[in-house]
Amino acid sequence: MKIAFFTETFLPKVDGIVTRLTKTVQNLVSLGDEVLIFCPEGAPQEYMGARVVGVPAMPLPLYPELKLALPRPAVAEALDQFQPDLVHVVNPAVLGLGGIWLAKTKGFPLVASYHTHLPKYLEHYGMGMLEPLLWELLKAAHNQARLNLCTSTAMVQELSEKGIHHTDLWQRGVDTELFRPELRRSATRERLLGGHSETGKLLLYIGRLSAEKQIERIRPVLEAMPDARLALVGDGPHRQQLERVFAGTPTTFVGYLAGEELASAYASGDAFVFPSSTETLGLVLLEAMAAGCPVVGANRGGIPDIVTDGVNGCLYDPDGADGGAGSLTAAVARLLGNPAERAALRQAARSEAERWGWGAATQQLRGFYTDLLGQPHLQLAA
């Protein structure tokens, strides 16, 4: 099978979308498929046997980590030369819209996938009034596809309710060989604790430091738990604001980690605290669970697909009168309060993660592709 991906985000950027895409490409190539990737410039020209075509791009003003790449004739030429069996557009925005147009113009079957809950992000950037317009734009783009994949049951339901057709669930995946409990290390804990002793509880956040992640909600947790320290692993456009928010608290800004260093950070935490209520899945939660770190997440979006409250982690209500701070604090206290229960949560979290390998997720995706290629052309919504 020959698959052309159009993605708005790829290496060297680090996030859940890039992780899913790189693991998917790796598995597709290992199964004998040919893969071509169109993405913003800056990526390597080849990844795991797949050819990568970088497209000149400019940073998004409100979110400079994201780059807007405008399609150009070289993209159409490369696609013509490759002659894919299908085109898969990941999170269509600008480059993705070009991919949609090319697929329709040239008659290639089109798959789209939804990974970032952009309409819910708008309120965190002072543009909530644009949410209905953005949904209309997303509907117009996604309804060109013969299949729209979502990464959680909540997103399948929400996109269907918003008028996006042909939705289905693309199952989650996690690298359980890299992320494992055995990588818990004293040296890593000391680094995450900012050089302080290991006597306190280590709260961990890993991910983008951006407004929509609602990381500020962790500050009241620290204020309620004098023996807790927080490590924020990652970087992003909201870092300076967060440094002001957490000034005077026992918080360590660690920056980006990767590979076994990152896996050791997950395994070395006492609780993984993830306040975001805008997640389509929350891959970092699954990575934490694979590493045996008990998790606290919002009872919203795709997170309840992963976390079962009191079984393999804890959920909090993000919509309380205090912005969810009280519920989040109570959930973290519940998780940390009983060592025996926390040990049981660690074990159950690891067991849940072991159910979701990237190989199985890719096999499911290939099944979607082959089913699509066996179907007659469908009449699409206008």
Interval 131-176: pLDDT, tens: 777 778 889 999 999 999 998 898 899 899 999 999 999 999 999 9
| Residue listed under structure tokens 């040296």 | 187
Condensed to tens digits (0 to 9), the pLDDT of residues 70-79 reads 788 999 999 9
Q: Return all residues near 39 (Cβ < 8 A) that are at least 6 apart.
A: 5, 6, 7, 8, 9, 10, 11, 52, 53, 54, 55, 69, 95
Tokens of 315: 């959920």
Helix spans in the chain (H): 16-30, 73-82, 95-106, 118-121, 131-142, 153-161, 186-192, 219-224, 239-245, 259-268, 283-290, 303-306, 325-337, 339-353, 358-373
Q: Does residue 119 contact residue 138 with C-beta atoms inside 8 Å?
A: yes
Condensed to tens digits (0 to 9), the pLDDT of residues 84-120 reads 999 999 988 788 899 999 999 999 999 999 887 565 6
Sketch the domain layout of the chain as residue ranges: 2-173+357-373, 181-353
Q: How buried is residue 72: exposed, middle or buried, by Cβ count under 10 Å (0-12/13-18/19+)?
A: exposed
User: Which of 111, 120, 70 shows the shortest CA–CA distance to 278?
Assistant: 120
What is the per-residue pLDDT for 379?
A: 47
Architecture of the domain delimited by 2-173+357-373: 3-Layer(aba) Sandwich (3.40)
Low-confidence ranges of the chain (pLDDT < 70): 60-66, 117-130, 197-199, 375-382
Top-level class of domain 181-353: alpha beta
Q: How far apart are CA 76 and CA 309, in angstroms?
A: 48
**Tally of CB atoms within 10 A around 151:** 27
Alpha-carbon separation of residue 102 from 6, 9, 79, 146 (angstroms): 11, 19, 8, 15
Residue 301 falls in which region: left (phi positive, over 0), alpha (psi -120 to 50) or beta? left
| Same fold? 2-173+357-373, 181-353 | yes
What is the per-residue pLDDT for 314?
A: 96
Q: How far apart are CA 106 and CA 94, in angstroms?
A: 18
Tokens of 327: 């519920």
What is the per-residue pLDDT for 338?
A: 87
What is the per-residue pLDDT for 364?
A: 96
What is the pTM for the complete model shown?
0.85
